[in-house]
Structure 1
Amino acid sequence: MLRTLKVLLTLIAGIALGLATTWATVIHPNGSGGVADGPWRTSLAAGSSEGGPYLRAYVAVHALLALSRAETIYYNASEDSEGHALDGHCSYRIEGRDPPARWWSITAYGADDFLIPNPVDRYSVSMNSVARHADGSFAVTLSKAQAEANWIPVAAGRFDLMIRLYNPEASVAADPTHPALPTIMKVACE
């Protein structure tokens, strides 16, 4: 009876440890193995054969498919430029210039890693759709309340942003820590 209890407790402890490890490395990783450029973070191994099983599982859960770094570099932001978590109760302004790539897009995703449902079916801005200032820069508004041009609707609660750089310049693919990516500034909160 005592031996059966020990085996049962060992099994329960092993399952709990396995689930905790999976959660820590796949579902809610701490960002290790990646690089940062302001609030934007990317993995150097995403979409490559160097990505281990945990990175592949993370991509399968959160990003579905990842192309190689020569084709696309994916930067995620879960915080603004001052290090505060992105929250749909607040409005934000993304400001910048075209990143060094043939084409780019910025998309907002809800806490469930899916597009945020909204009545105007607007989920992103891209190189082709963003309205620019006379000097070539752009400003994008993230908010629940409708804004004018360059508005991406968000909902209450946590959300993340992803900027995709398709066919990035060779210098970006070689060192993804230094391209001039847009800033994310909090404007106001409810």
Structure 2
Amino acid sequence: MFTGIVESFGIVEKIIKEGENLHLTMTAAMAGELKIDQSVSHNGICLTVVDLTDSSYTVTAIKETIEKTAIGNWKVGDRVNLERAMILGARLDGHLVQGHVDQTARCVSIEDSEGSTYFGFEYDEKLANLTIEKGSITVDGTSLTVVDSGRNTFKVAIIPYTLAHTLFGTYQVGSLVNLEFDVIGKYVSKMMSLR
């Protein structure tokens, strides 16, 4: 489990394709603190550390992860939002995030608003995911509050700190992002559809 509070950036150092898997080596300040078999969120994707040095570590993405997320578009040199798994008993500053990406979305608008920036996203409605006003959403691993919710669209308001310390500072209209919808909302939606 994660909180959606991004700790730092990692940089994609190397990508190796093996069969249907991708092995990604990341350089990150936190590398020296990690352990083999530890879970780390990479733009909201929970991946397991399989190899480690003092300054880098390697994770593996399987076919399903590649198909459901934007990881297949990553290139050497790309920055990635990183978060280690939450510690039981610590404060939950974001919301409960599983690190299981539900689908991707495209950034469709960016609006400056004297002190914050509004980002609009559009996603494929065929997967029946939904957002609600003031509900939680995770965009590339960042826990956010929905400020405007439509049928297959939503907006979030980003403060300058988040803009500087997450990938939001790099997004443009057309950027592809990973989404994880609120886990409680997903259970409620599933129960309602079974009635």
When normalised by structure 2's length, the TM-score is 0.29
Q: Which structure has the greater CA radius of gyration?
A: 1
TM-score (norm 1): 0.30
